[in-house]
Amino acid sequence: MSAFDLAIEDYLEDLRVARRCSPHTVSNYARDLKAIARSAIAREIKNWQDIEGGDVRSIIAEQHREGIAGRSLARRLSALRGLYNFLIKLGRCDVNPASDILAPKDKKALPATLDPDEVSRLLSQNLNDPMICRDLAMFELMYSSGLRLAELVGLNLVDLDLSVGQVRVTGKGGKVRDLPVGKHAVEAINKWLSYRRMTPGADDKAVFLSSRGKRIAPRTVQMRLKKLAESQGLNRDCYPHMLRHSFASHLLESSGDLRAVQELLGHADISTTQVYTHLDFNHLAKVYDEAHPRAKRSEITEES
Residue ranges covered by each domain of the chain = 3-89, 116-239
Lowest mean pLDDT of 10-24, 201-215, 216-230, name the range. 201-215
CA-to-CA separations, 2 to 6, 41, 133, 198, 282, in angstroms, rounded: 6, 10, 67, 75, 50
Backbone phi, then psi, for 209, in 5-degree steps?
-115, 155
Comparing 46 with 282, the larger pLDDT belongs to 46
Q: Amino acid identity, residue 71?
A: R
Q: Is the pLDDT of residue 301 over 50?
A: no
pTM above 0.75, yes or no: no
Q: Is the pLDDT of residue 42 over 80?
A: yes
CATH fold of 3-89, please? Answer: DNA polymerase; domain 1 (1.10.150)
Partners of 167 in the β-ladder: 160, 179
The mean of the pLDDT values for the chain is 87
Whether the Cβ atoms of residue 90 and residue 6 lie closer than 8 Å to each other: no
Among 206, 234, 210, 236, smallest CA distance to 221 is for 210
Positions marked catalytic = 148, 172, 241, 244, 267, 276
User: Could you report the per-residue pLDDT of 144-190, keeping only the tens digit for each?
Assistant: 999 999 999 999 999 999 999 999 999 888 889 999 999 999 999 99
Domain 116-239 indexed as CATH 1.10.443.10: yes
User: d(Cα 281, Cα 111) in Å, to the nearest integer?
Assistant: 13
Comparing 288 with 98, the larger pLDDT belongs to 98
Q: Is the pLDDT of residue 302 over 50?
A: no
